[in-house]
Structure 1
C-alpha cells in the first residue's frame, strides 16, 4: 500500500519503475530486477542497471550477450503461445534445460544470479512487457510466486499512469512547465492522469478500466479535480484545463494515443520478456 501511494504521487514518470523494482525484490525474495517496457528484440533495446556495480557489468557486455538478455529466454516462448500471464520461474518454464542455457550462464557471470522469476504485465501481448526478478541460491518458492501475482495489478496500473504522464509531457511540449502548472493547481499525478482521460471523453467506467481502479474511485478523483479547478462539470473542467495548459488543446495529439515504450534496467528491477 505504501508503494502504491508513493507511486501515485510521483510526478517524474521515469522514477516509477525504479520505485516498483525495489519493492518487487522485497515482495518476491529477489536480489535484482530488470524491467522491460518496450518491444525488445535481440538487436534492439537499451540495457542499464543499478546499483553502480551492476550498471558497470551490464555496460561492459558485448552485442552477443546483450542479445541473450533481450531475447528473454525462456519467458518469451513460454508466454507467446498462451493468454495466461501468471508469474513463472525460469526453471519451471524451461525445466532441466535452464541451468545449462547460455542465458543462465550469462546471468551467473554478470549478476551472480541462479534463478529468474518472470512477472509479465496482465493483458500484455507478445512481445511481453513486464519484469524479471533475479536471485542466487535456492529457487523462488510458491509463496514468492503468489506475491508476484498479487503485485501484477499494481504494476499494470502504475505502467498505465507512466504512459499517460509521458504522453502528457510530449503533447504539451514543455514538460517542466506542465508539471509546474499541475502542481500550482494542487493536482496529484493520479488526478492529472484522470484529467487527461476525462479530456479524451472517456466515461468513469472506461477511465477505471484504463487505470485499474473502480469507477467510484474515479468519481472521487473527478470531484477533487472540479474543486481544485473551480469547475462544476466535465465540459467546463476540460475547457479550463486547456486554458491553463494542463491538457492538450483540440487538434493536438491525445493523451491516449499510446506513447513510445521505454526501457530501463535495475539491480532491484525487472525485464520484459
Structure 2
C-alpha cells in the first residue's frame, strides 16, 4: 500500500469507527458520503443501497452533490430536471451492465474504462455534466451484493480517476461493507424494539447491539465474524462485554436478559 493509499485508508477507517459508534442508522451513510469522495480523488458522491434501476430506489447525496442540485433548484433543479434525468443517474450506466456480465466481481472501476470511447457521448455523461459539473465517474460497489450496483458512484471534473484512486477505492470496500451491515442490523433492531432507554441503561455500544442481534439468531462466533467482517477474537471480546454489562454468563441467559429489559423482542410461538 502506498503512502497516499495508507493515509486515505486510515482516514476512512476513522470514519468507519465513528459510524460503528453511531446509534441512528440513518446517519451512517451520510457520514461516509461526506468523507469518501476526497479520499479517492472525487468531488461529489451518490450512494445507492437498494437495487439500482432506472425508475426506483432512493439515492443519497454527499454534501457536494446536494449543493449542485440545490444550485439548480428553481432553475433546472430536481423538480424541473424530471424523471428522465433522474432515471439516467439511477441506472448508473455503464456500471449496471458491466457488473451484471462480470458476475460476482465487484471491483471498482471508472465509466471511461468500462464504456470506452462511447462514454463521452453517452446520455449519462451529458447528464452529470449538466447536473453536477462533472466529467468522470468511479463506481465503488459493495462486495458480496447481488444487485448490479449497490454502493457509491463518485464524480469528478477534469482528468479521469487514476489507477491509484481505483486501488484506494478497492481497499475501502470492506470498510463500506461493514458500515452497510451495521446499518441493516440497526434498522432491524430499531424496527423490532424500543431501544433508547434500555440501551442507555445497559451501556451497550451500537456494535455490541449488532453482535447481540446475531447471538439471538443463534449464529456461531465464526458466523458472526463473517457477517460483520471482523475477527472471531473481536466477536469473543464483544460477547464478553455483553456478559459483563448484562450480568450474564452464557449466550442463552444473555439473550433472555436482553429480551427482559427490552433490548430484543420476545419471541413467540415457540
The equivalent of 2:176 in structure 1 is 155
Q: Which secondary structure does the structure 1 equivalent of 2:153 belong to?
A: strand
1:59 matched to 2:78: yes
2:30 equivalent among 2, 9, 18 = 18
Which is worse superposed, 49-58 or 9-18? Answer: 49-58
TM superposition outliers: structure 1 runs of 4+ over 6 Å: none
User: 1:7-41: per-residue Cα shift (whole Å, max 9, x none)?
Assistant: 11011111111111222112201100100011232
Which is worse superposed, 88-97 or 60-69? Answer: 60-69
Highest Rg: 1 or 2?
2
Is the 1:79–1:85 contact (alpha carbons within 8 Å) kept by the matching residues of 2?
Answer: yes
Q: Distance in 1 between matches of 2:172 and 2:23?
A: 21
Q: Distance in 2 between matches of 1:10 and 1:84?
A: 30
Is the 1:47–1:59 contact (alpha carbons within 8 Å) kept by the matching residues of 2?
Answer: no
1:87 equivalent among 99, 105, 108 = 108
The equivalent of 1:74 in structure 2 is 94
Is the 1:48–1:59 contact (alpha carbons within 8 Å) kept by the matching residues of 2?
Answer: no
1:88–1:48 distance in 2 versus 1, CA, 3 Å: closer
The equivalent of 1:262 in structure 2 is none
The equivalent of 1:39 in structure 2 is 51
Per-residue deviation, 1:162 = 0.3
Q: Which secondary structure does the structure 1 equivalent of 2:159 belong to?
A: coil
User: 1:119-150: per-residue Cα shift (whole Å, max 9, x none)?
Assistant: 00011112331110111111101110111000
**Gaps (5+ residues) in structure 2?**
1-12
The equivalent of 2:10 in structure 1 is none
Is the 1:11–1:179 contact (alpha carbons within 8 Å) kept by the matching residues of 2?
Answer: no
Per-residue deviation, 1:47 = 4.0
Q: Distance in 1 between matches of 2:52 and 2:228?
A: 24
- Aligned length, in residue pairs: 248
**Gaps (5+ residues) in structure 1?**
253-273
Is the 2:69–2:131 contact (alpha carbons within 8 Å) kept by the matching residues of 1?
Answer: no
Is the 1:36–1:131 contact (alpha carbons within 8 Å) kept by the matching residues of 2?
Answer: yes
1:99 matched to 2:120: yes
Is the 2:25–2:186 contact (alpha carbons within 8 Å) kept by the matching residues of 1?
Answer: yes
TM-score by length of 2: 0.88
1:123-272 to 2 correspondences below 5 Å: 123-172=144-193, 174=194, 178-251=195-268
TM-score by length of 1: 0.87
The equivalent of 2:9 in structure 1 is none
- RMSD (Å), alpha carbons: 1.5
Which is worse superposed, 60-69 or 108-117? Answer: 60-69
Q: Which secondary structure does the structure 1 equivalent of 2:190 belong to?
A: helix
